[in-house]
Structure 1
Amino acid sequence: MTDDRHVARSLTPLHGEGLRLCAWDADSDTEAADYLRGLLDPEFVRWNTPLTPIEDLDGARASLLRKAEEAAKGTGASYRITDESDGTTLGHIGVDGIDHVFRRARVGYWVLPEARGRGVATRALRLASHWAHTELALHRLELGHALGHEASCAIAEKCGFRYEGTLRGAMFEAARHDTFRAAHLHARLATDPE
């Protein structure tokens, strides 16, 4: 088995637009706490329902180690969004479910409350999308969000992720695994204009 911590550290950092995207370090108390804080944020909880609830630092570390395993397998890349000048954690962006045969993946992101309203998610999505299309040679990136999440819809459209439709019953309701809600599907192709 691969040493997950080594893989996480070897994830290619991405720079631009005042941001640095780098691997999360599950051994860092500060980073694990930032990750947990993002997942427990009421706005995150309102729009997302993780399959495995994460409620404490141990759960956050376990989640980060699973993400490092996905990076080792080439099926995912989870980045900590930081301020390029001072390294402050601003949020998270992931390229998940990477399918190298069909050259597609899903993208998702969240931003800590104190970093909202500054274009962080938009800038991070542009960086991660460019990386996925060029370095990973992925053709299609999909982005889904709960119906009604207007901020996420606007970010997707600013970054060239075209709205493709509404998927009925495609996501769990907030904080539930027994009820479903509709989601918007957006996608960006490598051949779409910048």
Structure 2
Amino acid sequence: MPAPTPTPTPAPAPAPDPVSGAEPYGYGLRLCAWDAESDADVEAWFRGRGDPDFRRWNTPLALDASREGARESLRQRAESDAAGVSAAFRVTDAESGVTLGHVGLNTIDTFMRRAVVGYWVLPEARGRRVATRALDLAARWAFTELGMHRLELDHVVGHAASCRIAELCGFPYEGTLRGASFAEGRHDAFRDAHLHARLAIDPAPGGM
């Protein structure tokens, strides 16, 4: 009897590369611009940066004590984005458009082709790998659209969840930065941070 014809193995789905000239998307997410004039965007920004877990590990220069403060923070972000020194994205569910969190590039250095990346996720969106997937989308966009060579990510020592997200997203640990982050809720004291980085020439992470 002739040997049975083997069933072809389906090819793995291609990585969701960002589309040139469009909002980065993939993994069921879409990265959109924040709108400082949108009350819904302001509310999401205010809740995200006011969340106790965010405040435990992050002390931004502006603490956004009110919704109007959050709106002004978003306006300043938009000015920074327009100047080309940052790129802020609202992380949304690709189907519903619901805001899930934030991912952005800061201190973009076009000469050295280097930037610092940061992110946060709203409490109700945690546990769904939103941060990991949004971080990978933003990294791919930075490498392809901005021509970045190196993306750096740092988090306070002891923040195990951020360490795990960085590793899963292809940002290996590179060392400890002494006194590189503000202490919790203070601008007059400091704490150490772990440094992670991903290069454009590094292999893309799998298992997203």
> 1:1-194 residue pairs with structure 2 within 5 A?
12-194=22-204
Q: Measure the CA separation in 2 of the matches of 1:117 and 1:52.
A: 27
Task: Provide TM-score, normalisation by structure 2.
Answer: 0.87
Equivalent pairs counted in the alignment come to 184
Which amino acid is the alignment partner of residue 107 of structure 1?
V
Q: Measure the CA separation in 2 of the matches of 1:53 and 1:151.
A: 22
Q: Measure the CA separation in 2 of the matches of 1:134 and 1:50.
A: 28
Contiguous gaps of at least 5 residues in structure 1? 1-10
CA deviations 1:4-35 (Å, max 9, x no partner) are xxxxxxx9521111001000111111110010
Partner secondary structure for residue 92 of structure 1? strand
Give 1:173 shift.
0.6
Contiguous gaps of at least 5 residues in structure 2? 1-20
Give 1:125 shift.
0.4
Which amino acid is the alignment partner of residue 176 of structure 1?
R
Partner secondary structure for residue 49 of structure 2? helix
Q: In angstroms, what is the RMSD of aligned CA positions?
A: 0.9
Task: Provide TM-score, normalisation by structure 1.
Answer: 0.93
- Ranges of 4+ aligned residues in structure 1 off by more than 2 Å: none
Q: Partner of 2:8 in structure 1?
A: none
Q: Measure the CA separation in 2 of the matches of 1:99 and 1:63.
A: 22
Which amino acid is the alignment partner of residue 42 of structure 1?
P
Q: Measure the CA separation in 2 of the matches of 1:97 and 1:163.
A: 20
Which amino acid is the alignment partner of residue 85 of structure 2?
T
Partner secondary structure for residue 46 of structure 1? helix
CA deviations 1:68-112 (Å, max 9, x no partner) are 111111111100000011011100001111000000000000000
Contact 1:12 1:22 survives alignment (8 Å)? no
Q: Measure the CA separation in 1 of the matches of 2:56 and 2:63.
A: 14
Which amino acid is the alignment partner of residue 27 of structure 1?
E
Q: Measure the CA separation in 1 of the matches of 2:111 and 2:153.
A: 19
Structure ID, larger Rg: 2
Please identify which structure carries the higher strand content: 1
CA deviations 1:96-141 (Å, max 9, x no partner) are 1100000000000000000000000000001000000111000000
Give 1:179 shift.
1.2
Partner secondary structure for residue 118 of structure 2? strand
Give 1:162 shift.
1.1
Taking only the aligned residue pairs, the percentage that are identical comes to 61
